[in-house]
Amino acid sequence: MPIIFQSPGTDLFHSGAQILVNPVNTRGVMGAGLARQFKRHYPGMFAAYRDRCRAGLVQIGAIDVHVIQDGLPSRVIIANFPTKEHWRHASQLQWIELGLVALRQMIIESHARSIAVPPLGCGLGGLDWDEVSSRIVQSMIPVAEIGIDVLLYPPAAP
């Protein structure tokens, strides 16, 4: 299956992907950007994420997984992907790289057929989309090669 670049401004929440990647910080705050939209769509996930952050369980380089049972047998997996430590600070490219290793493993273990990946760290995190997208593509090639659809969302047009 291919890595499919979506059009800027396309809604990740309507992608139909089984895994939705949510760029987060490790402090338990989803006050802006895409994370805030995830908080509105999945308030139960937010509460669990906040509690896990307070317990020190959400870390750079690890994926915080939440399974949302929408109905039988439908489910959505939220992959909270830490792109920064504190919400006020910038993201770091090396943190994206570390997280992508964990994300790739999580995707394979989940047996999901599709994943929607936003521009990790490129919005409020301040990273360059060209640098980030090349790393996402490189990391997701093995995932696509085993038949998993990878939907890649660029930053929204200004």
Domain with 48 in it: what CATH number? 3.40.220.10
Tens of pLDDT along 11-62?
999 999 999 999 999 999 999 999 999 999 999 999 999 999 999 999 999 9
Q: Is residue 16 in a domain?
A: yes
Q: Is residue 13 in a domain?
A: yes
Tens of pLDDT along 62-84?
999 999 986 656 679 999 999 99
Instruction: Give the start-end residues of each E strand in 26-74.
Output: 64-69
User: What residue numbers bound the domain in which 133 lies?
Assistant: 3-152
Q: Is residue 158 in a domain?
A: no
Catalytic residues: 84
Buried b vs exposed e over 36-66: b needs ≥16 C-beta within 10 Å? ebbbeebeebbeebbebbeeeebbbebbbeb
Q: Is residue 157 in a domain?
A: no
Q: Is residue 133 in a domain?
A: yes
Determine the distance from the C-alpha atom of residue 11 to the mean position of all C-alpha atoms in its chain, rounded to a whole number: 14
Q: Is the pTM higher than 0.85?
A: yes
Cα separations (Å) of 78 from 7, 40, 60, 89, 94? 22, 13, 16, 23, 22
Instruction: Give the start-end residues of each E strand in 6-148.
Output: 19-25, 64-69, 75-84, 114-117
Q: Is residue 91 in a domain?
A: yes
Structural domain count of the chain: 1
